[in-house]
Amino acid sequence: MTEMMNDVAKVLCTQEEIEQRVQEMGQAITRDFSGSNRLIVVGILKGAVVYYADLIRHIGLPMAMDFMMASSYGSSSVTSGVVNVTKDLENDIEGQDVLIVEDIIDTGLTLSKLKQVLLARNPNSLKICCLLDKPERRKVDMKADYVGFSIPDEFVVGYGLDYNERYRNLPDICVLKPEIYAKD
Ligand SMILES: O=P(O)(O)OC[C@H]1O[C@H](OP(=O)(O)OP(=O)(O)O)[C@H](O)[C@@H]1O
Ligand code: HPA
Ligand SMILES: [Mg+2]
58-70 confidence digits (pLDDT tens)? 999 999 999 999 9
Q: Which of 45, 161, 168 to mutate to test the pocket of ligand 2 (most atoms within 8 A of CB)?
A: 161
pLDDT tens readout for residues 129-163: 999 999 999 999 999 999 999 999 999 999 999 99
Name the pLDDT band for 75 (thresholds 50, 70, 90). Answer: low
Whole-structure pTM value: 0.95
Complex ipTM: 0.98
Q: Can you tell me whether residue 5 is helix, strand or coil?
A: helix
Closest-CA residue, ligand 1 atom 12, reads: 71
- Per CATH, domain 16-154 is 3.40.50.300: no
Domain spans, the chain: 16-154
**Amino acid in the structure at residue 168:** R
Q: Is 106 a catalytic residue?
A: yes
pLDDT tens readout for residues 89-132: 999 999 999 999 999 999 999 999 999 999 999 999 999 999 99
CA angle, residues 75, 80, 86, in degrees to nearest 5: 70
Residues 6+ apart with CB under 8 A from 3: none
Cα–ligand 2 centroid distance for 139 (angstroms): 14
Q: How far apart are CA 166 and CA 17, in angstroms?
A: 22
